[in-house]
Amino acid sequence: MSMKTIINKIFLASALTLSLSACSDFLEKEPLSQGTEAIVFKTPEHFVQAANALYNMEGWKNYDNKANYDVMDRNLDISGLGSNGGGAAPESNWQWDKPYSHIRTCNILLQKAEEFGDKEAIAQPIGTAYFFRAWQHFYLLKLFGGVPIVDHVLDVNDGVIYGPRKSRYEVANFIIADLEAAIPLLPKEKDIPAASKGKVSKEAAKAFLARVLLYEATWEKYVPSISYDLDGNGNESGAGTAKPEGYYSIEKMLTEAKKLSGEVITEAETGTFKLWNECDTLSYFYLFNIDDGAENIPNFKNAGKKTNKEFILYKKYDYNLGQGGINLSHTVATWQGSNISTSFGESFLCRNGLPIRISNTGNMSDAQNNPQFKGYDTFVGEFRNRDYRFVSCAMSIPDRTFWSSRTEDGRQLTAAGKPYPDPVFPQNNDVYNANDPAYKSSCGVFKPTLRNNSTASSYGSRKFLIEGAGRSVSNSESADFPLIRLAEVHLIYAEATCELGNGAISDEDLNFSINKNRERARVAPLTNDLIANVWDAGWFDHATGKTICKKMNMLDEIRRERACELFGEGFRLDDLKRWGIAHINLTGQKLGHRILGTAYETEKANDANYFGEPCYYPEKYPLQYGIYEGTGPNDPDYGRSIATLAGNLLFSQRDYLQPIPRVQIRLNPQLKQNPGW
């Protein structure tokens, strides 16, 4: 769909279709969908209603109204890679079309606001329109780089329709300006009435602007090092390098990101926001599946949505008013949602705040297990004394099972009290008994086996899995979808501070920010003394495809924290790009679980299908890509499965930006294709 077609098809009626992410009290009011623009915007209430129609954000569904599973960071370094790269520019792309239709509705409100006399009476709707116009332009910037900026209501003869792209710097400047305009117009979260919770607040705008500033500052700092010109000259390719007068420097962006995120954190400390901690050590896991409508039991504490003050902005769902509409529980339970790759799983720290393998000299020869790490002699050892973000979300911990809303799993949560179902283990691991209760129980727990052409490449992930029996009907899951949450703001503050400090950050700033996230995960605070003269001897180096010994430093640890806290929430690919390492982390051979010399070799299967066979039985069930041997038994990766072959991963520097859809270039030859496409 061309921009001209978008303009012809969008009318005010669609602009005023009410979104379920708006407040519940407004959902009960009649939408003004029948009047002309002149009638619609006659009173402040009309502007409020129009502003509620601007909450067009991706949630459980994307802008194409399809299940939004790709937001779960699938097919990346932290989730496990299958294949990537090597594609051609598509004919069309809804990711280009849809944001511009949403931008138009923002511009209609802003245009009518200019004609309205009492600007103070409509300050909040105006601020909301600025916020979402920035939101949609940032969506486009991350995907395509420089794009046409639409700052007014277009007609079919408007020069913007047939004009060139603006540079990424001009787009970033526009986004920043819109958010700076929105902040003073929006109410503080604590001043938003309970019935209107879910509307954009001043703190949400500050947090989003901090996100934008950190993103663009680090992009401009690191992406030039990838040895590939993504900007182009704007004449033959790309969107060019034009920078508007007064454009923020990298240092200015980082300074503002730190300031804004710090203000949100300070406000949170008054009680406006707080990390959700209602489910003890499992709080992180349960944060993402709070779904208590219609008396559904959301978790073993029966803590509902009203207890959640961590989400600063979210896509709002309700079992009665607007369900998620995707087969979420089935997707997660069958290992098709978010995932934890082996290398990512091994990067989660022990509870003492250090990696699973460490060295005090930097030599791999004297590296040793962290005293808290229990190793691989048993199947459960590696899960002991670890970050609870890993332990609570990993799908494959072989001493427990988990609740699931799916009827076919037979483990629906029907009452509060127990964090896990009672596991049923085989009574005898040496002699098979077909009548053993474990083989008939939905809560049977058995030793892991490597079968079915396995790559042994991940731990799975149950993040987002709904557990209550009240959601047994497919597509009825209705947890709110987080768009900005307090834990991310902590990460923004820490990263911006560390970047400003050239890799240094004080213990005070760490305590003010990410150590709060670590506390919920039951991981020791990050301090300068903790990592001084310590090497991570389990660091997987994507550049070489091998485990190396790397000296710990603050920037790496903050980035580690970001991955561990935000995995599966749609940040990872953008992070890899802005750090200039996407073409490294997403290519090359990847390794999976440690097999040789572990319980996979010493233990025998105790499930009904493979009872008595070795858990790893290569003569009968070889791994898909085999075992990595490296330089021999002393190689730190010796005996691991090969998870992905380098030849399957073709991601390159051009993939930092998506191609402009070909139909757009045919309709407007002034739009130049991104470099390399």
The span from the CA of 668 to the CA of 677, in Å, is 17
Give the residue among 312, 313, 145, 116 at the shortest CA–CA distance from 231: 145
Q: For residue 3, what pLDDT is reported? A: 53
Q: For residue 407, what pLDDT is reported? A: 97
Question: pLDDT grade, residue 15 (50/70/90)?
Answer: very low
The span from the CA of 293 to the CA of 320, in Å, is 7
Taking 3-state DSSP, the helix, strand and coil percentages for the chain, each rounded to the nearest 5, stand at 40, 10, 50
C-beta separation of 144 from 674 below 8 A: yes
Question: pLDDT grade, residue 84 (50/70/90)?
Answer: very high
pTM: 0.95
Question: pLDDT grade, residue 96 (50/70/90)?
Answer: very high
Q: For residue 1, what pLDDT is reported? A: 57
State which H helix or E strand residue 25 sits in: helix 24-27
The span from the CA of 404 to the CA of 564, in Å, is 23
pLDDT at 625 over 80: yes
Mean pLDDT of 171-197: 97
Question: pLDDT grade, residue 36 (50/70/90)?
Answer: very low
| Per-residue pLDDT tens digits for 50-66 | 999 999 999 999 999 99
The values of phi and psi at residue 540, to 5°, are -85, 115
- Which residue(s) pair with 311 in the sheet? 485
Q: 55 CB contacts (<8 Å, ≥6 apart)?
A: 19, 21, 22, 132, 315
Q: Hey, where are the domains in the chain? A: 3-253+655-667
Q: Which residue has the tokens 């929430």?
A: 569
The span from the CA of 675 to the CA of 653, in Å, is 10
DSSP string across 248-296: PPHHHHHHHHHHHHHHHHHHHTTTSS----TTGGGHHHHHTT---GGG-
Between residues 514 and 39, which one has the greater pLDDT? Answer: 514
| Per-residue pLDDT tens digits for 421-444 | 999 999 999 999 999 999 999 999
Work out whether the CA dihedral 333, 338, 342, 348 comes out positive or negative: negative
> For 575, what's the count of Cα atoms within 13 Å in the CB-facing half-sphere?
24
The span from the CA of 348 to the CA of 329, in Å, is 25
Q: What percent of the chain has pLDDT over 90?
A: 94
pLDDT at 14 over 90: no
The tokens describing 12, both together, are: 């005010």
Mean pLDDT of 635-647: 98
Q: For residue 40, what pLDDT is reported? A: 80
Q: For residue 587, what pLDDT is reported? A: 98
| Per-residue pLDDT tens digits for 468-505 | 999 999 999 999 999 999 999 999 999 999 999 999 99
The tokens describing 436, both together, are: 């053993």
pLDDT at 5 over 90: no
The mean of the pLDDT values for the chain is: 94
State which H helix or E strand residue 214 sits in: helix 202-222
Q: 201-229 burial by CB neighbour count: b if 16+ within 10 A, else e?
A: bbbbbbbbbbbbbbbbbbbbbebeebeee
| Per-residue pLDDT tens digits for 649-672 | 999 999 999 999 999 999 999 999
The span from the CA of 498 to the CA of 261, in Å, is 14
The span from the CA of 39 to the CA of 273, in Å, is 39
The span from the CA of 23 to the CA of 52, in Å, is 8
What is the DSSP secondary structure assignment for residue 376, as one 8-state letter? S
Q: Compute the radius of gyration of the chain from its Cα atoms.
A: 26
pLDDT at 28 over 80: no
Sheet holding 546-551, edge to edge: 368-369, 357-359, 535-541, 546-551
Mean pLDDT of 368-391: 98
| Per-residue pLDDT tens digits for 533-586 | 999 999 999 999 999 999 999 999 999 999 999 999 999 999 999 999 999 999
Burial of 555 (0-12, 13-18, 19+ CB in 10 A): middle
CATH 1.25.40.390 fits 3-253+655-667, yes or no: yes
The span from the CA of 564 to the CA of 576, in Å, is 14
C-beta separation of 480 from 242 below 8 A: no
C-beta separation of 120 from 379 below 8 A: no
Q: 430 CB contacts (<8 Å, ≥6 apart)?
A: none
Q: For residue 29, what pLDDT is reported? A: 32
- Which residue(s) pair with 227 in the sheet? none
Q: For residue 38, what pLDDT is reported? A: 45
The span from the CA of 210 to the CA of 176, in Å, is 9
C-beta separation of 2 from 664 below 8 A: yes
Mean pLDDT of 580-598: 98
The span from the CA of 431 to the CA of 83, in Å, is 42
Give the residue among 13, 27, 22, 32 at the shortest CA–CA distance from 55: 22
CA dist 71 → 20, 60, 75, 221, 234 (Å):
20, 9, 11, 25, 30
pLDDT at 26 over 80: no
Q: Residue 400 CA to chain centroid, in angstroms?
A: 27
User: H helices within 300-454, ranges in order?
Assistant: 328-333, 342-347, 388-393
